[in-house]
Structure 1
Amino acid sequence: MSKHDRWSRLLELLAGEGRIDVDDAATALEVSPATIRRDLDELAGQQMLVRTRGGAVAHGVSYELPLRYKSARHASEKQRIATAVADMIADGDVVGLNGGTTTTEVARALGLRAGGSHGGRGRRDAPEASAPLFTVVTNALNIAGELAVRPQVKIVVTGGVARPQTYELVGPLAMGVLNEVVLDVAVLGVDGVDPELGLMTHQEDEAGISRLFAERARRVIVVTDASKMGRRAFARICGLDRVDVLVTDSALPSGTAARLTEAGVKVHAV
């Protein structure tokens, strides 16, 4: 197991439990306690955790796993979700994307489509050949970077203050840009979906931006792997009444799917 993989696994354990014991982590990762101690020391040096006697604890109860360590989690599920969502986007659509690992995969799928085939739902308003295949509005710096090299994708990036954990731009500058645009579809990544409370994320400033994405869109697609279904997070984005489609993986429990369908959400499991 590489150092990056060990660190990702340790941070997953920390996100789930709030603390790590050296011996338990060594057993779980099948490495020596000395290796775990070195890893924890290095992660503490990066302010990713707080070292304690015999282990480590998260910085706070609302611990958030940074994007660069989340990318390998449920990777195949997220890629399947992204491929399905890309097929739901019509040529010529204006697409809003918030930050996150699943929306990043959606951006990649759209980028591949723009760079090659035009096998989506067909051009919605038949723009001229020189027009971009898509317009993507995003507050995520990494998504903008992924798509900036695609000449057939027009990129609109909000202003704002960058959050290093998620690469998202937040604050009044981001809201100012979103208030001036109209979206055909918003594709939202979330940290939790609850049948009663709706969509949630860890940070209130990101929740406000995602809420505005939903308000400015004709259609809202939520993308999330099944591990986040039924999970709650600190900040509420919006209710399920704002969601048209939820795309997730096949591990979604049938009972949860039924409750979402009753709430008026079309569930697409891949």
Structure 2
Amino acid sequence: MNRYERLTALLELLAERGRIEVEEIAEELAVSAATIRRDLDHLAEQQLLTRTRGGAVAHAVSYDLPLRYKTARHADAKLRIARAAATLVDKGAVVGLNGGTTATEVARALAARADLDLTIVTNALNIANELAVRQQIKLVVTGGVVRPQSYELIGPLARLIPEELTLDVTFLGVEQVDPTAGASARNEGEAAINRLLAERSGRVVVVADSSKLGGSAFVRICPTEQISGLITDADADEAVVREFRDHGVDVLQV
């Protein structure tokens, strides 16, 4: 386990348990206590947790891990999902992309297809940064106030541009997607701009690995009836996939 993986694991364990102890976690992750102490000090410097004597307690932000600590989770599945999403886009299409790790992979997969000549509308600064140098892509950024955890632009200003646009397809990265409850996010600001991208789009395709299927997060983005397709991985629960299809969602497993 490298340092990046350890930091991700520490934040996930802390979010799950609320408190962790150095000796216990060192044994669990099979590294030295000194290594765990250095890792916890590093995360504390970034205000992602609060150090205690012998361990750490959860800082409020650690329940919503910053994007840079999420990229290693289900990485292979996200790559397969992204490549499948890119095959659904026609030349000259106008594509909406929200933030998150899976949507970022979709952006990269689209950028790799030099034949498409796309317009991409996004509220994610990291995606915009990667696509800005792609000559075959016309890039539209929504504007708004940056949410540091996800690099997404949110708030009233983020609504002004999408309200004037018509999109062919929006690929939505989500926190959860459920056959009954629809797609949802943890943050209300993100959910609001994601909802608008979906409303302005002819098709809404949710891109989500199997860990995000079933259940709902804090705020709904859109109902299941608004979701045209779902791209997920082969580990998705068969019963849940069947229920999505029963609701008229075209499910692609990769």
| TM-score, normalisation: structure 2 | 0.95
How much is the aligned-residue C-alpha RMSD, in angstroms? 1.5
Partner of 2:237 in structure 1?
A: 253
Shift of 1:159: 0.7
Query: What amino acid does structure 2 have at the position aligned with 1:71?
Result: T
Distance 1:263 1:225 in 2: 19
Query: What amino acid does structure 2 have at the position aligned with 1:9?
Result: A
**1:28-67 maps to which residues of 2 (within 5 A)?**
28-60=28-60, 63-67=63-67
Percent identity over paired residues: 58
1:213 aligns with 2:197: yes
Task: Report the 3-state secondary structure (helix = DSSP H, G, I; strand = E; otherwise coil) of the residue aligned with 2:112.
Answer: helix
Distance 1:79 1:202 in 2: 23
Going from structure 1 to structure 2, the CA distance change for 1:78 and 1:169 (only over 3 Å counts) comes to same
| Consecutive unaligned residues in structure 1, runs of 5 or more | 121-132
Give yes or no for contact 1:62–1:202 (8 Å, CA) kept in 2: no
Distance 2:122 2:83 in 1: 19
More moved, 186-195 vs 231-240: 231-240
Shift of 1:61: 8.8
Distance 1:106 1:181 in 2: 21
1:196 aligns with 2:163: no
Query: What amino acid does structure 1 have at the position aligned with 2:145?
Result: V
Aligned residues: 254
| Consecutive unaligned residues in structure 2, runs of 5 or more | none
More moved, 20-29 vs 140-149: 20-29
Distance 1:19 1:239 in 2: 36
Runs of 4+ aligned residues of structure 1 deviating over 4 Å after TM superposition are none
2:148 to 164, 172, 184: 164
Shift of 1:12: 2.2
Give yes or no for contact 2:48–2:62 (8 Å, CA) kept in 1: no
Distance 1:52 1:198 in 2: 40
| TM-score, normalisation: structure 1 | 0.90
**1:4-153 maps to which residues of 2 (within 5 A)?**
4-60=4-60, 63-114=63-114, 118=115, 133-153=117-137
Task: Report the 3-state secondary structure (helix = DSSP H, G, I; strand = E; otherwise coil) of the residue aligned with 1:179.
Answer: helix
